Amino acid sequence: MAPVFDKKNVLVIYVLGGPGAGKGTQCSKLVDEYGFCHLSAGDLLRAEQQREGSSYGELIRTYIREGNIVPMEVTIKLLENAMDAALKENRSGAGWSAGKGRFLIDGFPRKMDQAVKFDEEVCTASLVLFYQTTEEVMLKRLMKRGESSGRDDDNVESIKKRFVTYKETTMPVINYYAEHGKVAEIDSTVSVEEVYENTQKVVAKILAAQEASS
Ligand SMILES: Nc1ncnc2c1ncn2[C@@H]1O[C@H](COP(=O)(O)OP(=O)(O)OP(=O)(O)O)[C@@H](O)[C@H]1O
Ligand SMILES: O=c1ccn([C@@H]2O[C@H](COP(=O)(O)O)[C@@H](O)[C@H]2O)c(=O)[nH]1
Ligand SMILES: [Mg+2]
């Protein structure tokens, strides 16, 4: 079913990279500076897993623990509903007016079927921010985060599985968007501030281009 909002009115940036690459960290800085609505597919799935009465709770729990990708219909519906709700809030500020808004979609699309379906039926992204670092760095960050995150998948067994899914299933998505000239690759090995400086440069350009065309 088509989304309720008009896709012409939304600016979408996908935020991709390996588990623990720093996607969420950079998104929160972008929210503060540019007023994006940040939608993390993983967070939406975790919230749905916890929701009383959800028929997907157990399914989501198993997929996340195994580092697998939840069937796309579930995730796309959650994202679409969250976008719709944000647009109905009538937010103010740069990029927001009646029915218009700007979104960071974090950790999605992670599989080609999601990418094709979302592009066709919901909306297309103007840019893909791709945070790149080594598995060694990501493992260290996730193990540290796991001391306090409470996430079922911040343990070494799940992390190893997430790395396999990332390489086999998500890298083809990133390569697909790279072939379409949409990917900005950013080294996320360096400090949060340095990563953000490089992120700002790319995002500021996209926002300026959008402003010039509207
Ligand atoms: N550039 C950085 N340098 C050092 N630590 C970082 C950096 N970026 C993020 N971190 C830390 O690494 C951990 C993972 O970061 P974050 O949660 O942003 O990653 P993510 O890509 O969203 O991970 P996931 O895919 O698991 O959701 C966090 O504890 C965060 O504080
Ligand atoms: O589109 C998606 C995004 C995420 N998942 C599942 O959630 C976990 C955690 O995602 P984070 O982005 O690390 O918070 C991921 O490993 C998948 O199991 C998904 O199924 N589909
Ligand atoms: Mg995250």
Nearest CA to ligand 1 atom 25: 19
Indicate the DSSP class of residue 100.
B
Task: Report which secondary-structure segment, H or E, holds 105.
Answer: strand 101-106
Q: Is the CB of 95 under 6 A from ligand 2?
A: no
89-144 pLDDT per residue, tens: 989 999 999 989 999 999 999 999 999 999 999 999 999 999 999 999 999 999 99
As given in the structure block, the two tokens for residue 83 are 């976008």
Alpha-carbon span 56 to 210, nearest angstrom? 37
47-80 pLDDT per residue, tens: 999 999 999 999 999 999 999 999 999 999 999 9
As given in the structure block, the two tokens for residue 184 are 């900005």
Q: Is the CB of 191 under 6 A from ligand 1?
A: yes
87-100 pLDDT per residue, tens: 999 899 999 999 89
Largest Cα span, the chain:
48
Percentage of residues in the chain having pLDDT higher than 70 = 99
Calculate how far, in angstroms, residue 42's C-alpha sits from the geometric centre of ligand 2.
4
Query: Which CATH superfamily, name and number, covers 10-213?
Result: P-loop containing nucleotide triphosphate hydrolases (3.40.50.300)
| Domain assignments of the chain as residue spans, ordered by start | 10-213
Alpha-carbon span 3 to 162, nearest angstrom? 30
